[in-house]
Amino acid sequence: MPGLLGIADLDRTEIEAILARAKDFQPLQNQSFKRLDVLRGKLMVNLFFEASTRTRISFEIAAKRLGADAVQISAAGSSVSKGESLVDTLNTLGAMRPDAIVMRHAASGAPHFLARHLPIPIINAGDGTHEHPTQALLDARTILDRVGTLEGLRVAIIGDIAHSRVARSNILLLSKFGAEIVLCGPAPLCPPTMAKIAGGVSIAHDIREAIRDVDVIMMLRVQLERQNERPFPAGEYFRFYGLRLDHIALAKPDVIVMHPGPINRGRELTSEVADSQRSVILNQVENGIAVRMAVLERIIGE
């Protein structure tokens, strides 16, 4: 694989291969010795221009578990804050000869620009409102573990769909497996254009309607940092779109509740839901490592 810019570039077979390989890596998390040698001598650079806890650390752990070295660059502590242009930062990084660059940037398409510019595999760790492919892959691994299949699922995605690269990558991935997806959120955050990303996607503005008989509920954070104006009053949001335990009863009995994190308790969902048996939020975090190991091995392994 030349790099990973988006789920849009992967076919079902490739997705299935990554998810199967991630399963091989899962047991490693519980062993006392957690290091393999597959990527010994390789160098992965994490280049993050936006805040991140889970994704950045998860890539670093994944690289180290495979025996690679991992170096962190955050825009705040780098020469980017001294006015260096993106192209100059990239050329500088390229000269250090990393084997892969993992990049997060506020601009949609930034990693694609980087990939055209440098002869080094680029992994997109989130570009603006566009894609977050490893998040969709780790979500798919989590669904497989708990629901047992990706075929023909009913999935509700609730929240700030318009600004969510997580929603977009998940829609692209799940629709490849024939999912029926209902998007739900306040009208300004859930515009009709989002239903056109793939087949099998519809929109509901009532959370109860969206959740009815679904296998998976995927909650999203309201991404205030991507909104120029507040499209609705903060208190109103939870009243209409916050997930509560009584909502869950409307879904399938074995429904799972997902959230890419960071979660805002009392805004997107109640603590009772976040900490309930139905929540797989920490399983998602755990699977992030195994899935990123599979991706890194596929891209920079021999």
Contact residues for ligand NCD (CB under 6 A)? 54-55, 126, 132, 135, 165-166, 221, 223, 260-261
Nearer to ligand NCD, 66 or 220 (CB): 220
Nearest to ligand NCD of 29, 223 (CB atom): 223
- Report in angstroms how near the CB of residue 33 gets to ligand NCD at its nearest: 28
Nearer to ligand NCD, 55 or 175 (CB): 55
> What's the rounded Cα separation, in Å, for the pair 255 and 193?
27
Helix (H) or strand (E) holding 180: strand 180-184
Of all residues in the shown chain, the one whose CB is closest to ligand NCD is 221
Smallest distance, Å, CB 19 to ligand NCD? 18
Q: Is the dihedral of CA 240, 241, 245, 250 positive or negative?
A: positive
H/E stretch holding 21 = helix 12-25
Residue 259 CB, shortest distance to ligand NCD, in Å, is 9
Beta carbon nearer to ligand NCD, 131 or 180 = 131
- Cβ nearer to ligand NCD, comparing 52 with 78: 52
CB of 82 vs ligand NCD, minimal distance in Å:
25
Residue 132 to residue 123: CA distance in whole angstroms: 10
Pull the structure tokens for residue 62. Answer: 């994944």
Place of tokens 């805002």: 264
Given the complex with ligand NCD, which of 186 and 260 has the nearer CB atom? Answer: 260
List CB contacts of 215: < 8 A, sequence separation 6 or more. Answer: 143, 147, 153, 154, 155, 251, 252, 254, 255, 256
Query: What minimum distance in Å lies between the beta carbon of 39 and ligand NCD?
Result: 23
The answer to whether 254 and 192 are in contact (CB under 8 A) is no
Q: HSE (CB half, 13 Å, CA atoms) of 270?
A: 12
Residue with Cβ nearer ligand NCD (132 or 247):
132
Q: Is the Cβ–Cβ distance between 127 and 107 less than 8 Å? A: yes
The DSSP string of 191-203 is -GGGGGSSTTEEE
Nearest approach, Cβ of residue 265 and ligand NCD (Å): 14
Q: What is the nearest approach in angstroms of ligand NCD to the Cβ of residue 85?
A: 24
